[in-house]
Amino acid sequence: MDMSDSEIETLPESPEITVAQPTSNQKVFTEEEKWGIVDRDQFYRKLTEYYEDKRNKKPFTRDGLNSLLEEIHIAKAKRFRKDRREYFLLKTYDTAEVDGREQVIRKNDKLLVIPFEDLYDIIFDFHMKTNHAGKNKMERAYKIGEANIPRPVTEVFLLCCNICFAKRHALEKAPSQKPKYVKGFAHKGQVDVVDFKSTPDGRYSMVLAYQDHHTKFMILRPLQNDLPEIIAQELSNIFMMFGIPKVLESHNGKYFVNKIINSIDNLWSETIIGHGEPKLSDIPCKSPEEIEKLIRKWMNVNHSAKWVTGLNIVQWQVNTTSIQSLGRCPYQAVFGFSPQINLRSTTSINGEIAHGSSSSVDIVKNSYFEEDRKSRLGIVHENLTQEISSGMFLTKDSSLFCKNCHKTVTGDCLLCEICAECIHSSCQKEIIWDDSLKRDRNICNNCFSCDSENPALKRMKKETEELLVE
């Protein structure tokens, strides 16, 4: 471009910049050795693919830098009538003498703009000098060497480096060689406190839940409060039966666990327990929210606010439910044999709890169990009648108290036709399905309050209809 003498002014002297050169003790690689470490063609192919949709951000080529250098000279020479691009170039770029040649640098940090064709050789030298460092160390080396190389270019180069790929592959495999924790019964335990202050049962307003981390065996105990001393006393009783864990953790926090460990140490000074934090594992322990949901499910099914009574039932249901990851239930994992399940449907909390195992609901539906229940009713009734008439029972036993009124059973003992519990003859329920079917049946309050879909009640309705027909 021709310019008049009035528009041309003397160019300012450009600063001298020297790009860091390899030290004397640094190995000089041949082209074959370079290609063995980082394939040049692969690097430029991946770099071109990356910048396909980012044309404005692509590094300058040699021709592009020469054109840019000429534009900068023209912009500097103009005294008046500069356009927007010329103002941008003068604000962003400058020129400097590098190895006897005038080249383009960035104005703000004085870093040399590297042409696209020279990126491979420049980055390779920095990568070898930093001993195959990552992108952060490489960028710090660029600033020391006064070279401007975009971060995406460095990332593509590191992906193409065979030595860096081998190092990453080794680091990815390393964690799998060590287990997350030492597996074994009573090695790690989890203690949580579930809040039932909104629905207290007598003097109890809390639930202590202790679960073995490996077998998932759970123990539930009612608590009057959440004082560390009270919790430590209950845990000591559990530890004396099942062993002391090496690590104790809780969803309630590390501070909560530390107070419990200190209280246990005061009661039992020989114990050595460390604290931990719940971590992600293949078989996570139940959270306090899940435990509360199970207990409240039992309360809803049994229409009872006496949740202390249901703790053992919930504990049994959890410990006898098969866990797919364990391949067995917690009960079998601890004791080595399958539990003897012989429960009625009225004691089941929900089908969800017993999912994946032989639930009590399935056993109730078995016809053999129905026949066995009828025979047991006759045997139990005969034995109780003999024992009550002989006055053998003088202590408060649940089997000698009426299930309906909770008073002592004397000689007028009847048995509930569903659960085989003792009831007074005056406490039997009159079942009315409709105006035509009305009959007194020996049924306790719990069984009478069950859903009408109860198979036992359906069977009674059928028996009553047959008796009326006769």
**How many residues in the chain?**
470
From residue 415, give the alpha-carbon distance in Å to each of 11, 295, 309, 400. Answer: 114, 28, 21, 11
458 and 343 assigned to the same domain: no
Residue-wise pLDDT tens digits, 187-211: 788 889 999 988 899 899 999 999 8
209 and 343 assigned to the same domain: yes
pLDDT for position 270: 60
* Residue 171, SS3 per DSSP: helix
Domain end (from 300, 327, 358)? 358
351 and 373 assigned to the same domain: no
Domain range enclosing 416: 367-469
pLDDT at 381 over 50: no
Q: Between residues 155 and 28, which one has the greater pLDDT? A: 155
Residue 328 gets which letter from DSSP?
B
Domain end (from 358, 390, 413)? 358
Residue type, 204: Y
Question: Which residue spans within 31-187 are E strands per DSSP?
Answer: 93-98, 101-106, 112-113, 147-148
**Residue 407 falls inside a structural domain:** yes
Residue-wise pLDDT tens digits, 383-438: 444 444 443 333 334 445 676 776 666 555 666 766 666 777 677 665 555 545 55
106 burial (CB, 10 Å; 0-12 / 13-18 / 19+) is: middle
pLDDT for position 338: 80
DSSP conformation letters of 112-156 = EEPPGGGHHHHHHHHHHHTTS--HHHHHHHHHHHTEE--HHHHHH
**Residue 268 falls inside a structural domain:** yes
**Residue 265 falls inside a structural domain:** yes
263 and 121 assigned to the same domain: no
235 and 384 assigned to the same domain: no
pLDDT at 362 over 80: no
Mean pLDDT of 127-155: 87
166 and 231 assigned to the same domain: no
* Residue 221, SS3 per DSSP: strand
Residue-wise pLDDT tens digits, 250-280: 887 777 888 888 887 777 666 667 655 555 4
φ, ψ (nearest 5 deg) of residue 309: -65, -35
- 361: closest CA among 295, 454, 457, 239? 454
- 384: closest CA among 419, 406, 414? 414
Q: Between residues 470 and 77, which one has the greater pLDDT? A: 77
Q: For 216, left (φ over 0), alpha (ψ -120 to 50), or beta? A: left
pLDDT for position 342: 57
**Residue 7 falls inside a structural domain:** no
143 and 276 assigned to the same domain: no
State how beta strands 247-249 and 93-98 pair: unpaired
353 and 372 assigned to the same domain: no
pLDDT for position 249: 84
* Residue 249, SS3 per DSSP: strand
**Residue 2 falls inside a structural domain:** no
**Residue 167 falls inside a structural domain:** yes
- 295: closest CA among 305, 286, 307? 307
Domain count, the chain: 3
pLDDT at 223 over 60: yes
CA distance 126 to 194: 59
Residues 208-219: b if buried by 16+ CB within 10 A, e if exposed: bbbbbbbbbbbb
Residues sharing a CB contact under 8 Å with residue 395, sequence separation 6 or more, in sequence order = none
81-95, 221-235, 332-346, 399-413, range with the lowest pLDDT: 399-413
**Residue 342 falls inside a structural domain:** yes
155 and 272 assigned to the same domain: no
**Residue 97 falls inside a structural domain:** yes
Tokens 């020297």 found at? 18
372 and 315 assigned to the same domain: no
pLDDT at 284 over 80: no
378 and 307 assigned to the same domain: no
Residue-wise pLDDT tens digits, 429-464: 655 555 455 555 667 766 666 544 566 666 666 665
Domain end (from 146, 175, 204)? 175
Mean pLDDT of 294-312: 90
195 and 287 assigned to the same domain: yes
